Each structure stands twice: as structure tokens, then as C-alpha cells.
């Protein structure tokens, strides 16, 4: 029997059907997979679920850092201009 490869989206769809309450036996016979395979995918899915929310937090953190970086660059630019001005006044 040829081994099938399942993409991540299909695996997630199958697991979510079971998590929503559909009988696992029915899901497995529909997709021609064993119940052991279903439970393996489910455990993997649930173990990685928290990472979904970490990405959102990381994005917020990156946005804050980007904003802070822009603010600091502007401040450095202003201070550089101020120093040039004061140098020109001292050394005409």
C-alpha cells in the first residue's frame, strides 16, 4: 500500500472535526486513517497550539520596538544637527 502524505491544513481540518465533537471513528473511516494516527495528530496539534498566540505577541512586541527605534533615530538626528550647529558657532 502506498503511503500518503497529508498537508498541515488537511491534518488540522481533520483534528478540528474531532475536537468539535464529531465521532473519531467516523472521521477516521471517512479519511481512511487509523484512530492512532488521528490521536497522534491531535496531540501534536494541541501541543503546538500555544505557539499560535506567541506569534501575535511577538508581532506586537516587534511593532513596539520598531516605534521605539524610529523615535530614537529621530532623536539622534536632532542631536546631531544640534551638535553641528554648536560646532559652527564655535569654529566659524
pLDDT one-digit tens code per residue, 31-67: 999 999 999 999 999 999 888 877 777 788 888 999 9
Q: How many domains does the chain have?
A: 1
Domain assignment present for 2: no
pTM of the model: 0.58
Domain assignment present for 52: yes
Query: Where in the sequence is the domain holding 81, given as residue range(s)?
Result: 8-90
CA distances to 6, 19, 60 from 32, rounded to whole Å, are 12, 18, 41
Domain assignment present for 57: yes
User: Would you state the pLDDT for residue 12?
Assistant: 96
Helix (H) or strand (E) segment spanning residue 85: helix 35-90
Domain assignment present for 3: no
Amino acid at each position: 500500500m502506498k503511503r500518503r502524505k497529508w498537508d498541515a491544513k488537511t491534518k488540522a481540518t481533520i483534528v478540528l472535526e474531532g475536537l468539535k465533537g464529531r465521532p473519531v471513528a467516523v472521521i477516521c473511516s471517512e479519511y481512511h486513517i487509523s484512530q492512532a494516527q488521528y490521536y497522534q495528530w491531535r496531540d501534536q496539534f494541541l501541543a503546538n497550539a500555544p505557539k499560535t498566540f506567541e506569534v501575535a505577541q511577538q508581532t506586537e512586541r516587534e511593532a513596539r520596538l520598531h516605534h521605539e527605534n524610529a523615535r530614537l533615530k529621530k532623536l539622534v538626528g536632532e542631536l546631531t544637527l544640534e551638535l553641528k550647529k554648536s560646532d559652527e558657532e564655535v569654529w566659524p
